[in-house]
Structure 1
Amino acid sequence: MHITLNLSGPYGANLSDTDPERLRELSHRSVKVSIIIVLGAMITLGNVAVLLVITSSVAGWSRNSRYFLLSLTAADSAFGLLVMPLNLWVSLLKDYTEGPDALCHVVAFCNATVYSTCMYTLATISLERYIAVFYPLQYSTLMTRKRTLLLIAFAWCFPPFLLSPISFPDGIIEVHFSTASLVCNPSYSTNVAYSLSLTCLIFFPCSIVMTYANLRVWCAAKRQTLKLRKYSCARRSRPNVASRVLVPVMAAYFTCWTPCMATMIYNAISGSSVPEWVEFVVVWLPTSNGFLNCIFYFWINRNFRRKFNLILQRLALSLCPKLADTLGCSYPSTAQFTSGFLDNNNSVHERSSSVSSTCTLLTLA
């Protein structure tokens, strides 16, 4: 008995049950699409929750800190709201042919820009915290509002300028749609020099800044913790918050980004590709950093969790007051508004607030 499956789209038509290779390809593709959708939903929901909190004041977070964290949230949200929908739409609806494809060039440009912006933003956050810890008296002079916004603008504007050759169909970089990773990938092997220069201008500088700044802050926090344990027996049971925050941040960064960069360099130099599932994992692994950032930069902070609970309580009261009355909920009292959870951080001196947000490495229990 012969059964013919008529399927339209980039994966062809007239597939029969006697073609196991094509059926296996379709099965793998459905699994990959499911993974991408779940990951995109996690990233989007996590960053929406973060956005609800940091758009208002959080105790111990300065105005500059909120600017940088808003930039990071926007960059991470772009993974779920821009990168994933664009690549899924291209993979599901467009029928690919050989030769330059203007749409795929645009999608590849968006992918590379979001990835690069995220790395630059992480580097600027590390730099701001380094200045707050080691130059607290000069913080207000070094990290003015104008300089903060310039750093954020650089993180968002320099990557599009640097990656603009990818967007031109007839440019120096060829772009193809990869059925292995379901992504419009630049063919870096066609221009090895440009590929290596991208790595040297994006990944390595950001990694060096993050590693140096976070390592110095971690060492300072470690020394401070040892002093507290030496002179105060009551603090002997205090957990090492520096290790709980900085170590996971750096571990997640290098775990998510290093395989992708190493694969790009390997493809550019060798001219060959890695196995199918290896390519899928290393291409989409950096997007998971957008979800992990929500945990390490935000949810581990006790003030953030308290503010989020208060926001949820106020939303529940406004949307469903009868249910809130049934559950015994009430609006936050005046004491709560003045206790620091709902206060306006701008009334606190900028330098002191920034130092406070950074030194949660030492004081957060």
Structure 2
Amino acid sequence: MYLTPNLSNLSDSDHLQDLTHRSAKVSVIIVLGVMITLGNIAVLLVITSSVAGWSRNSRYFLLSLTAADSAFGLLIMPLNLSVSLLKDYSEGPDTLCHVVAFCNATVYSTCMYTLATISLERYIAVFYPLQYSTLMTRKRTLSLIAFAWCFPLFLLSPITFPNGIIEVHFSNASLVCNPSYSTNVAYTLSLTCLIFFPCSIVMTYANLRVWCAAKRQRLKLRKYGCALRSRHNVAARVLVPVMAVYYTCWTPCMAVMIYNAVSGSSVPEWVEFVVVWLPTSNGFLNCIFYFWINKNFRRKFHLILRRLALSLCPELAETLGWSTTSSAQFVSGILDNNNLVHERSSSVSSTCTLLSLA
């Protein structure tokens, strides 16, 4: 006997599966948002004060990067989760979704531009150390940071108009408000040509040149017996992970965006979810490769933890062996180191010590 399928049960099963998938996606987004927020808060606590090896200009750029990364956890994720809870999926595009999509695209673009400006500043510091103070003045530094934050606002402004050239819809697959790039292929391709490709070219060229220079210098030092073979390769430890993480996080998202615009079809549900949210993980990984891998940063963070523990919970500090005397000696050593570093006007962040292999 042939039994016809129970459509109501099938619908209930599909609905339950959708709820399960949605719960799993929301959990992943929340965990990622917490990791990004906590990681960048720790970074802000450190780089708002002086750190050995980082000049004033370097701190400006790194503060800009930290602010852009923090926006992933403090702005992008709450906005999209709020829309996913409030919006009726049967409704069409609305003004709120356009605003959220504009915020998403702006923060993503600002992060890429900021990464490119950091690579450019490090390139100048390594190859033009004597002209660094002239080329990277405070005014030019702030102008580059302002460009990284303001140009995306102008470039992506068409997304904000509900009846404009770009349509926006809420995606159940990725739980974000996505622009329908297939409605305007030319605009989509122009965005990638003005954002992703220029930033990628600048980062790749600058970091590759610095890596090659560091490798040549390392070989020279080995030749004259000035460097130990067992010493860590700073260039490989910093530059290679930075570029690998950048392309891993951003390339799939850009590729899917171009594919959707050209073909007019969408990718599978979980593929869309991964490629849309993968760039936000760059906001957490930047904390590791730009900050935690730097010894001076870790020392300064340790100092801040000691200060907080001594002021908020002296008993816990004593239990951990952070007595007032030992902390004072530790603080004195850090401050003496920082006072010497302030005299170096052309110093930059962790990779600016590549040529000296410090």
What TM-score results when the alignment is normalised by the length of structure 2?
0.93
Equivalent residues of 1:241, 1:362 under 8 A apart: no
Matched, 1:292 2:285: yes
What letter matches 1:82 in structure 2? L
From 109, 123, 126, give the equivalent of 1:116: 109
Matched, 1:241 2:239: no
SS in 2 for 1:184: strand
Distance in 2, matches of 1:163 and 1:17, equals: 42
Equivalent residues of 1:189, 1:271 under 8 A apart: yes
Offset of residue 264 of structure 1: 0.3
User: Counterpart of 1:106?
Assistant: 99
Aligned length: 349
Over 3 Å counting, the alpha-carbon distance change for 1:341 and 1:363 in structure 2 is farther
Equivalent residues of 1:120, 1:155 under 8 A apart: yes
Matched, 1:214 2:214: no
What letter matches 1:226 in structure 2? L
From 25, 46, 49, give the equivalent of 1:53: 46
SS in 2 for 1:177: strand
SS in 1 for 2:126: helix
Matched, 1:76 2:76: no
Offset of residue 346 of structure 1: 7.7
Matched, 1:200 2:196: no
User: Counterpart of 1:323?
Assistant: 316
Matched, 1:89 2:89: no
Over 3 Å counting, the alpha-carbon distance change for 1:20 and 1:96 in structure 2 is closer
Equivalent residues of 2:238, 2:351 under 8 A apart: no
Offset of residue 330 of structure 1: 2.6
Gaps of 5+ in 2: 1-7
Equivalent residues of 1:68, 1:152 under 8 A apart: yes
Show CA shifts across 1:231-273 (max 9, x none). Answer: 1165221111100100000000000000000000000000000
From 223, 242, 247, give the equivalent of 1:230: 223
From 139, 157, 164, give the equivalent of 1:171: 164
Over 3 Å counting, the alpha-carbon distance change for 1:72 and 1:235 in structure 2 is same
User: Counterpart of 2:153?
Assistant: 160
Between 226-235 and 171-180, report the one with greater CA deviation.
Answer: 226-235
Over 3 Å counting, the alpha-carbon distance change for 1:191 and 1:341 in structure 2 is farther
User: Counterpart of 2:263?
Assistant: 270
Distance in 2, matches of 1:348 and 1:188, equals: 50
Over 3 Å counting, the alpha-carbon distance change for 1:339 and 1:310 in structure 2 is closer
Equivalent residues of 1:303, 1:341 under 8 A apart: no
Distance in 1, matches of 2:184 and 2:97, equals: 18
Over 3 Å counting, the alpha-carbon distance change for 1:102 and 1:69 in structure 2 is same
Over 3 Å counting, the alpha-carbon distance change for 1:115 and 1:234 in structure 2 is closer
User: Counterpart of 1:183?
Assistant: 176
Distance in 2, matches of 1:322 and 1:27, equals: 45
User: Counterpart of 2:5?
Assistant: none
Equivalent residues of 1:79, 1:290 under 8 A apart: yes
Offset of residue 340 of structure 1: 4.6
Q: CA RMSD in A?
A: 1.9
From 3, 12, 26, give the equivalent of 1:19: 12
SS in 2 for 1:235: coil
From 281, 302, 312, give the equivalent of 2:305: 312
SS in 2 for 1:175: strand
SS in 1 for 2:323: coil
User: Counterpart of 2:4?
Assistant: none
SS in 1 for 2:354: helix
Offset of residue 344 of structure 1: 4.9
Equivalent residues of 1:63, 1:345 under 8 A apart: no
User: Counterpart of 2:3?
Assistant: none
Offset of residue 320 of structure 1: 1.0
Over 3 Å counting, the alpha-carbon distance change for 1:345 and 1:197 in structure 2 is farther
Over 3 Å counting, the alpha-carbon distance change for 1:20 and 1:125 in structure 2 is same
Equivalent residues of 1:177, 1:183 under 8 A apart: yes
From 343, 348, 352, give the equivalent of 1:348: 343
Show CA shifts across 1:107-158 (max 9, x none). Answer: 0000000000000000000000000000111100000000000000000000
Percent identity (aligned): 83
Offset of residue 334 of structure 1: 5.3
Offset of residue 19 of structure 1: 1.9
What letter matches 2:104 in structure 1? N
Matched, 1:279 2:266: no
Over 3 Å counting, the alpha-carbon distance change for 1:345 and 1:260 in structure 2 is farther
User: Counterpart of 1:134?
Assistant: 127
Offset of residue 322 of structure 1: 3.0
What letter matches 1:80 in structure 2? G
